[in-house]
Amino acid sequence: MFTSKFNTMTGALDWEIQNEDYDYQQELARAGFADMLHDYERNRLYYAGLRKAIKKLKSENKVVNVLDIGTGTGLLSMMAVMCGADTVTACEAFKPMVKVAKKCIEANGMKDKIKIIEKRSTDIVIGIDMDQRANVLVTEVFDTELIGEGAIGTFTHALDHLLDSYCYVVPDNAIMYIQIVDSPKCHDWNWLDLSKYGLKVPEEYKNLAGDAIFDIQLTEFNEFRALTEPLEAFRFSFSGKKPISYNERNVVEAVSKQDGKANGIFMWWVLRMDYENEILLSCAPHWAHHSPNNMQWRDHWMQAIYFPSRLIDLKSGENFLISCQHDEYSLKFDVHAFSEKNKILNFNQPIEDINLGMTLVSRNRLAQLNDKKRFDMFINLLKKNEKDYRNLLIANDDFSILPLLSASETKYEKIFVLESNRFRERCLLSFLNINGLEERVTIIDKNLTDIQSADLINNQFDFVLSESSFNSIVLPWDNLYFYYGLEHLRSLEQKKSAIKKILPIKLRLFVIAISMENLDKIRSPVGVCEGFNLAEFDKIILEASCKADGFLEPHPLWEYPSKPLSDSLEIFDFNFNSRSVSEPFTKTCKFGLKENGLLNGFALWHVLEFDEEDSRISINTGLLNEPEFGKNLVWSKDYKQAIHILEKKVEICDSNRSNISVNCNINFEPLLGKFNIYFKIEN
């Protein structure tokens, strides 16, 4: 069948021929099931919780009827069978996974022991779909926020409509923890600070990134000082011992351990799998984990950072308040001075659903906007060129402070900025107005590739500057979108010879062979899990992932430790001053390995250069230091890099290292807007 696909380089919609099951493959690939099944602690503790609940009911001579909500592969249902359940009913509404579950259950000889209902649990009716209520519920409907996948509604409905009054639930309950920290990086992820440049931030846009969750591998984050110990924010009872509130508000009194600014709120949770609270499944970072030397790595559940609505300075020993709120799906936390206690504790006010606000930029983009070295570089570039060029076009389609800086710091006659998003345009106008710069900047409400001749009649410019910050960029070579935009501008009659200066000058692409500590697990076969054969899952899911996701995918590699097995190698460069490039570019780079370890992937990133004479005047999105063999690589926290995870890992050792080489094949077809990279390991 034909499907339309947005070309991230050209900005155009391309039509591609796909298999009839394309949508099915897309859904499967993005479901993240492989990561969950590699979470051996999760699997083991769910098994232990089930075993304990079923054993308890058996000891009371009760018939055990198990309900598994959201069965996925059928793993938890098969565990229930092995634990001695008399009946097992599994429900799964995600159609692609129903097929997987049936195949896995049949492969393990349990086809006649598990009934699969292809419905949401909230649509199940006793007497029609199930013969009787269950007395054991097992389900994993959690995300990093614990409740974001609808856990509250799922458990509440099951307790009311699908379970006996005397029942056991796995997990039984959960505790959510928070910790207040002082972190300059958290500040950069939340508040835009333009004070260095004498510019104001409008009150209504003080939070450009909104209040949405910022999930993160906190164990890899060390740029903070703890102002409190971990504090309990909420308890959730899933077993019916206490009703789960759809809207709950709690206030925690805390004491600051040291002087600092409360600009980050860390959050994680712990599942207590059994009715005696003995089996603990913790998502805590290493410093708060009950077993820090034996922690399970996982990516499907991480930790999260929330951000206060305003910055509060705390003194050592000072009392303060933390307000905690959740609705059915979301969480919200804030920090308050102790003097606000009466106001904060006024529970007569109705609890409303949480409004997370509008997200105008990502947290990473906000950190880029707070990078003073970055914008000092841009100011110097602008001043260096203002004598030679009169009219400046700033070409991004993500919010930028370049229009503000160019208007306040330079003397260009005219400054134009592209902004096609009406919400970001409104935001930029507010910034310009509050700083008295609205007369200096003209906004063109188009993307770079959408500008028409009519847009340029009264808008003449000879200098085009870009951070190459475009919303379409996913992988490093997507920055070639800037070239296609320039080609579009050049094609317009009025502008054929008007553009005299283009920055950035060059795109450079780098690669390095790496040994990832854990990240490769998200694309690795599961094989046997807790004694169950999941080969059918591997076959279906990994094939779908390959078809849907392609060869490379973006990840913030600073969160995922990896060590170098080769030097970094430049494999491609492109000059943005190039005109009408039409010939396909093909190149093969061959490089060797210089360190022992498990070769399980390749990382790629790009550098944008802005000065022909000084390559240091650049934006580097990848490695911050030269790789040192035997040590973890140091990656930029403000960008995602591209990663290729090898299907077949290779153990590199002294005996084979000199005989192994890597071929990296690059193919760029400018007329089609296609860029492909392939890796081949030769022995």
Kindly report, residue by residue over 638-676, the tens digit of the pLDDT. Answer: 999 999 999 889 999 999 999 998 999 999 999 999 999
Distance, CA of 516 to CA of 650 (rounded, Å): 12
pLDDT for the residue numbered 267: 98
Residue 346 pLDDT exceeds 80: no
* Same domain? 380 vs 324: no
Catalytic residue among 140, 419, 467, 609: 140
The CATH number of the domain holding residue 432 is 3.40.50.150
Whether residue 156 is contained in a domain is answered as: yes
Contact call for residues 306 and 183 (beta carbons, < 8 A): no
pLDDT tens-digit profile of 211-225?
A: 878 999 999 999 999
Distance, CA of 216 to CA of 508 (rounded, Å): 28
* Residue 656 DSSP label: T
Q: What are phi and psi of 598, to 5 degrees?
A: -85, 110
How far, in Å, are 243, 328, 437, 675 from residue 153 at the CA level? 11, 7, 50, 45
Confidence of residue 31 (pLDDT cuts 50, 70, 90): low
The H or E element that residue 680 is part of is strand 674-682
Ranking 137-151, 277-291, 350-364, 429-443 by mean pLDDT, the lowest is 350-364
Whether residue 11 is contained in a domain is answered as: no
Residue 5 pLDDT exceeds 70: no
Residue 463 pLDDT exceeds 70: yes
Distance, CA of 189 to CA of 209 (rounded, Å): 8
Distance, CA of 394 to CA of 388 (rounded, Å): 17
Distance, CA of 243 to CA of 156 (rounded, Å): 8
Of the three residues 470, 503, 536, the one that is the final residue of a domain is 503
Confidence of residue 469 (pLDDT cuts 50, 70, 90): confident
211, with CB counted inside 10 A (0-12, 13-18, 19+), is buried
* Same domain? 107 vs 89: yes
Neighbours of 171 (CB within 10 A): 25
* Same domain? 155 vs 246: no
Contact call for residues 238 and 174 (beta carbons, < 8 A): yes
Tokens of 599: 């070769």
Parent domain of 411:
371-503
The H or E element that residue 532 is part of is strand 532-533
Residue 20 pLDDT exceeds 80: no
pLDDT for the residue numbered 2: 41
Whether residue 407 is contained in a domain is answered as: yes
More confident residue, 546 or 516: 516
Whether residue 5 is contained in a domain is answered as: no
12-20 CB contacts, 8 Å cutoff, 24+ apart: 12/449, 12/673, 14/673, 19/547
Of the three residues 118, 149, 170, the one that is the final residue of a domain is 170
pLDDT tens-digit profile of 69-124?
A: 999 999 999 999 999 999 999 999 988 889 999 999 999 999 999 999 999 999 99
Whether residue 525 is contained in a domain is answered as: no
Residue 239 pLDDT exceeds 80: yes
Q: What percent of the chain has pLDDT over 70?
A: 92
Q: What are phi and psi of 124, to 5 degrees?
A: -75, 140
Amino acid at 167: C
Distance, CA of 21 to CA of 176 (rounded, Å): 40
pLDDT for the residue numbered 13: 55
Tokens of 221: 């984050």
The DSSP line for 122-167 is GG--BTTTBSS-EEEEEE----TTSSTTSHHHHHHHHHHHTEEEEE
pLDDT tens-digit profile of 540-578?
A: 876 766 655 457 999 999 999 999 999 999 999 999 998
In the chain, what is the greatest distance between 2 CA atoms, to the nearest angstrom?
A: 90
pLDDT tens-digit profile of 414-456?
A: 999 999 999 999 999 999 999 999 999 999 999 998 988 888 7
543 is catalytic: no
Distance, CA of 64 to CA of 86 (rounded, Å): 5
Q: What's the mean pLDDT when you consider all of the chain?
A: 91
C-alpha closest to that of 635 among 645, 644, 625: 625
* Same domain? 381 vs 438: yes
Residue with tokens 């051996």: 40
pTM (whole model) above 0.85: yes
The β-bridge relationship of strands 414-418 and 391-394 is parallel
Mean pLDDT of 463-469: 92
Distance, CA of 61 to CA of 64 (rounded, Å): 9
pLDDT for the residue numbered 25: 57
Tokens of 285: 């970072």
Kindly give, in sequence order, each residue whose CB lies less than 8 Å from that of residue 317, ignoring residues fewer than 6 positions away.
Answer: 255, 256
* Same domain? 478 vs 607: no
Neighbours of 680 (CB within 10 A): 11
More confident residue, 511 or 614: 511
Distance, CA of 44 to CA of 281 (rounded, Å): 10
pLDDT for the residue numbered 352: 66
Q: How many CA atoms lie within 13 A of 196 on its CB side?
A: 13
C-alpha closest to that of 526 among 15, 39, 82: 39
Tokens of 53: 């609940």
Amino acid at 54: I
* Same domain? 158 vs 39: yes
* Same domain? 432 vs 337: no
Whether residue 602 is contained in a domain is answered as: yes
The DSSP line for 164-210 is EEEEEEES-EEEEEEEEEE-HHHHHHH----GGGT----GGGS-TTT
Of the three residues 336, 360, 384, the one that is the final residue of a domain is 360
Whether residue 39 is contained in a domain is answered as: yes
State how far Cα 196 lies from the chain centre. 30
Amino acid at 580: S
Distance, CA of 387 to CA of 226 (rounded, Å): 49
Neighbours of 377 (CB within 10 A): 17
C-alpha closest to that of 555 among 35, 182, 10: 35
* Same domain? 134 vs 272: no
* Same domain? 120 vs 154: yes
Residue 342 pLDDT exceeds 90: no
140 is catalytic: yes
* Same domain? 392 vs 320: no
Number of domains in the chain: 4
* Same domain? 485 vs 561: no
pLDDT for the residue numbered 3: 46
pLDDT for the residue numbered 207: 87
The β-bridge relationship of strands 65-69 and 134-139 is parallel
Mean pLDDT of 331-353: 81
The CATH number of the domain holding residue 289 is 2.70.160.11
* Same domain? 477 vs 510: no
Mean pLDDT of 118-133: 96
pLDDT tens-digit profile of 580-628?
A: 888 999 999 998 999 999 999 999 999 999 998 888 899 999 999 999 9
Mean pLDDT of 531-535: 95
For 577, the 3-state DSSP assignment is coil
Catalytic residue among 149, 248, 318, 530: 149
Contact call for residues 175 and 235 (beta carbons, < 8 A): yes
Whether residue 10 is contained in a domain is answered as: no
